[in-house]
Amino acid sequence: MMHNNAPGVTASLQQALAGLNPGQREAVLHQSSPLLILAGAGSGKTRVITVKIAYQIEALGHDPRSILAVTFTNKAAGEMRERAAGLAERAGDVTIRTFHSFGAWMLRRNADVAGLPRGFSIYDDSDAVSLLHSLFPERKRPDLARYSQAISRAKDYCLTPEDDLLEISEDPDLPRIYAAYQKRLEEIGNVDFGDLIMRPVKLLESEPAVAQRLQSRFRSILVDEYQDSNVAQYRLLRALCDQTTFVCVVGDDDQSIYRFRGAEVQNILSFSRIFPGTRVVKLEQNYRSTAPILDLAGAVVARNEGRLGKHLYTERTEGDVPRLILLGDQDQEVSWVIEQVRSCQREDRPGVTAVLYRTNAQSRPFETALLREGIPYRIVGSLRFYEREEVKDAVAFLRFLANPRDEVGFRRIVNKPARGIGAKTLDRLLQHQGVARGDLRRACEYGLGEVSKKAALALKEFLQVFDEMERRLEGDQDAELTPAGEKTLASAVEHLLEISGLSRYHQEQDQIAGTQKLQNLEELVNAASLYPLSREGLVEFLEAIELDSSRDVASSEDARVVLITMHNTKGLEFDRVIITGLEEGLFPRNDDPRELEEERRLFYVAVTRAHQEVTLTSCRRRRLHGRFMDLLPSRFLAEIPRDLVQVESFQGGDRASLQDGSPWQKGTPVYHDDYGSGIVIRSWQAGAERCVEVRFETGMTGQFFPAYDSSLERVAGAENSWGDSW
């Protein structure tokens, strides 16, 4: 799979190599042993990966088919493919996929060995709950959703129903429900997202011939965003490698923020131990942010114990010191943010201001205020396109067309739009699954004589939809052509929407509710135009749908204000970043040591999204559960060295002034409700507020803003005078 005679380096690749800094160049050229590229935020890791792919092809003479590059989103995979092809023409033959897309690719090509039909459907979370409900109709859907999540997490760890699941859940029913779910999923010939990784792992580990064939093909494996990988993905990587495979992973342990999705930071922390002889290359030069921003981010994340360690630097040494704004409550927080946005407009400061928050619920007051003020904004994190009711209806028809054993899809569409096929009729039809060998279209045919005339007529019309669609897939004279001259799937999808009644049904819904469901169906037709008119094209289209990344719904596409959760900022960048809600219990959310370290990493990610300016806000009170509650400033604020942030206090929109004198001088004895007795060891003026550092009898030290921490009290008799200041 590899050639010794290098075809010669292209001019574009030579130019790309010349533009690399020393760390990037070392990462691109290294080839002799496993490689861990520890890439800090904004350090140009995508450039390194794409140049490395081109270098392996052009300079080292690797067969592009022997290279596998894996990442986590379709967008990232597409960008990597496009940039690599710009440096090496043959890079178009490199396998560049997401983990789940690669798993689906592998299963389809080994379907017989894996015990799957080639046209299997991929179930999302909603489908999984529907399947569970068909097995356990006595249970409520929210209850089944929790089991679905537990099953998904178990598969992230490659755990079967027979394994010990106590670390996943202590629910004694989980093994039984998981076993029934998996048995049924396999009977109907489908997979869920967890199976796209776990089943390939099991296949590689149990079928030496399959493993050897793939190991022989992929001689160089590169994994992007490795800090986001889970245990199953790690095992997939290990199973694809033999002793001669060159393996390179790229990631940043300080940006591992998806533990709630199953990401395991230990994958990157232990890489050098798992792969002996690993070369570690650190990319520490940042091309995005100013030095003050990087200093702030680095100071907080450096408190984590579970990290490999690096220090970001930049040639952009200029820049304003980040600000910390102390506010009375969330209403003042919103007013302050609106004023900053207005200030940018008045001063004609270009670029985008991103307002970040820990949870989606925090966006509501900002949305309300921005709408009230008539300020265009864009909110990231809306409902995904393929999760909308009307789109899921259409996709269910297409899935059933591809795989007539798809029970979840069948249940969704057999009576939608309403055809008079009730629950009893449906149960009677499903009794024929066994004799029909799982083919539900045959089961319907077998059951025609056992149902009412009305239901039988409806079933015949339902089955005719798929008979006609089968003919359409064989050839459509009216179909548009792709640039390659192939007929596209678009006309077939459009025809399906018409003959199934979905277009008319959702058009009526639009007229009743004033929605835009029909337009969403039209967009689905547009998406289908990228695929050829064939059964293979249909399967490819359905796979792309299931693996598609989220689409953002915006109030204004060119808005200069973005509302977004901190998690959703990963991979994005903005001119100005305002990080709101820095209070204990909100950010960080709790005291769990593992979660606390991930929250620090989330803080690091949020701060390093900024090009020019970073502002932090913290409120003394916030409305929770319908009432105001006093909150403590986030402990992350106390972890910021005093010279890295400018502190300002605002009350009612006006800057507050301190009264003359301070009772919090050095040496003052204090008591804290949570930490006990202590003594002030430092006291300084932080903008408009007094900040103190306290050493407690337990040996712990902490920094506090006394005006905002009602739990910290002076012991009676303490003097009332100014102490040390900055």
At which of 615, 649, 683 does a domain end? 649
Both 527 and 400 in one domain: the answer is: yes
The contacts of residue 627 (CB under 8 Å, 6+ apart) are none
Catalytic one of 10, 31, 46, 651? 46
pTM: 0.73
At which of 532, 563, 580 does a domain end? 532
Least confident residue range of 370-379, 546-555, 701-710? 546-555
684 domain-assigned: yes
Look-up of token digits 């793939």: 214
Q: Is the pLDDT of residue 40 over 60?
A: yes
Whole-angstrom distance, CA of residue 666 vs CA of residue 714: 12
Both 473 and 619 in one domain: the answer is: no
466 domain-assigned: yes
The contacts of residue 183 (CB under 8 Å, 6+ apart) are none
Residue percentage of the chain with pLDDT more than 70: 90
| pLDDT range class, residue 352, cuts 50, 70, 90 | very high
Q: Residue 580 annotated as binding?
A: no
Catalytic one of 58, 192, 224, 543? 224
pLDDT tens figures, 609-647: 999 999 999 998 886 644 567 888 898 998 898 889 998
Least confident residue range of 256-260, 271-275, 599-603, 714-718? 714-718
Task: Tell me the mean pLDDT in the region 242-252.
Answer: 95
Maximal CA-CA distance, the chain? 95
| pLDDT range class, residue 553, cuts 50, 70, 90 | very low
Least confident residue range of 75-89, 299-313, 421-435, 469-483? 469-483
Q: How far is CA 147 from the centre of its chain?
A: 21
Whole-number pLDDT of residue 484: 45
Both 372 and 498 in one domain: the answer is: no
Q: Residue 39 annotated as binding?
A: yes
598 domain-assigned: yes
Q: Residue 262 annotated as binding?
A: no
Asked about 609 being catalytic, the answer comes back as yes
Q: Is the pLDDT of residue 72 over 90?
A: no
CATH number where 362 lies:
3.40.50.300
Asked about 225 being catalytic, the answer comes back as yes
Query: Across the strands, what pairs with 628?
Result: 623
Count Cβ neighbours within 10 Å for each residue of 212-244 and write b for 16 or more, e otherwise: eebbeebbbbbbbbbbbbbbbbbbbbebbbeee
Whole-number pLDDT of residue 612: 95
Range of the domain at 697: 656-725
Catalytic one of 153, 609, 620, 635? 609
Both 414 and 483 in one domain: the answer is: yes
Q: Residue 43 annotated as binding?
A: yes
Both 98 and 243 in one domain: the answer is: yes
Query: Across the strands, what pairs with 481?
Result: 487
Whole-number pLDDT of residue 711: 79
2 domain-assigned: no
Residue type at 649?
Answer: S
Whole-angstrom distance, CA of residue 602 vs CA of residue 619: 19
Q: How far is CA 450 from the centre of its chain?
A: 48
pLDDT tens figures, 476-485: 555 454 444 4
Q: Is the pLDDT of residue 497 over 80?
A: yes
In sign, the C-alpha dihedral spanning 325, 328, 334, 335 is negative
Q: Is the pLDDT of residue 393 over 90?
A: yes
Task: Tell me the mean pLDDT in the region 464-486.
Answer: 69
Whole-angstrom distance, CA of residue 593 vs CA of residue 583: 17
Task: Tell me the mean pLDDT in the region 175-202.
Answer: 96
What the block records as the tokens of 70 is 């894996």
Q: Residue 485 annotated as binding?
A: no
Catalytic one of 45, 81, 219, 405? 45
Whole-number pLDDT of residue 48: 95
Is residue 83 within 8 Å of 50, Cβ to Cβ?
A: yes
Reduced DSSP (H G I as helix, E B as strand, rest coil) percent helix, strand, coil of the chain, to 5: 45, 15, 35
Query: Across the strands, what pairs with 617?
Result: 325
Whole-number pLDDT of residue 513: 56
Whole-angstrom distance, CA of residue 421 vs CA of residue 1: 56
Q: How many domains does the chain have?
A: 5
Q: Residue 423 annotated as binding?
A: no
Output the DSSP codes for 408-421. HHHHHHTTSS--S-
Whole-angstrom distance, CA of residue 328 vs CA of residue 651: 6
Asked about 255 being catalytic, the answer comes back as yes
Task: Tell me the mean pLDDT in the region 77-82.
Answer: 91
Count Cβ neighbours within 10 Å for each residue of 457-481 and write b for 16 or more, e otherwise: ebbeebeebbeebeebbeebeebee
Whole-number pLDDT of residue 452: 86
Whole-angstrom distance, CA of residue 17 vs CA of residue 59: 11
What the block records as the tokens of 227 is 């800090």
304 domain-assigned: no
At which of 649, 667, 695 does a domain end? 649
Whole-number pLDDT of residue 140: 86
What the block records as the tokens of 555 is 């109030």
Whole-angstrom distance, CA of residue 665 vs CA of residue 686: 14
Round to the nearest angstrom and report the end-to-end CA distance of the chain. 65
Q: Is the pLDDT of residue 658 over 50?
A: no
Name the DSSP class of 277: T
pLDDT tens figures, 398-453: 999 999 999 999 999 988 888 888 888 888 888 888 888 888 998 888 888 888 88
The contacts of residue 514 (CB under 8 Å, 6+ apart) are none
| pLDDT range class, residue 717, cuts 50, 70, 90 | very low
Both 589 and 693 in one domain: the answer is: no
Whole-number pLDDT of residue 549: 35
Q: How far is CA 161 from the centre of its chain?
A: 27
297 domain-assigned: no
Both 486 and 442 in one domain: the answer is: yes
543 domain-assigned: no
Is residue 617 within 8 Å of 581, Cβ to Cβ?
A: yes
| pLDDT range class, residue 512, cuts 50, 70, 90 | low
pLDDT tens figures, 671-710: 888 888 888 888 877 666 788 888 888 878 888 888 777 7
Q: Is the pLDDT of residue 367 over 50?
A: yes
Is residue 721 within 8 Å of 668, Cβ to Cβ?
A: no
Catalytic one of 225, 406, 494, 648? 225
Task: Tell me the mean pLDDT in the region 160-188.
Answer: 95
Whole-number pLDDT of residue 5: 43
CATH number where 714 lies:
2.40.10
| pLDDT range class, residue 521, cuts 50, 70, 90 | confident
Whole-angstrom distance, CA of residue 151 vs CA of residue 156: 9
Both 520 and 394 in one domain: the answer is: yes
Q: Residue 69 annotated as binding?
A: no
Q: Residue 40 annotated as binding?
A: yes
Catalytic one of 50, 71, 73, 255? 255
What does the mean pLDDT of the chain come to? Answer: 86
Task: Tell me the mean pLDDT in the region 158-176.
Answer: 94
Is residue 636 within 8 Å of 603, Cβ to Cβ?
A: yes
Helix-helix angle 195-206:231-240, to 10 degrees: 40
Whole-angstrom distance, CA of residue 587 vs CA of residue 73: 27
Q: Number of helices (H) and strands (E), helices first, in the chain?
A: 28, 23
Task: Tell me the mean pLDDT in the region 661-673.
Answer: 78
1 domain-assigned: no
Task: Tell me the mean pLDDT in the region 569-592.
Answer: 92
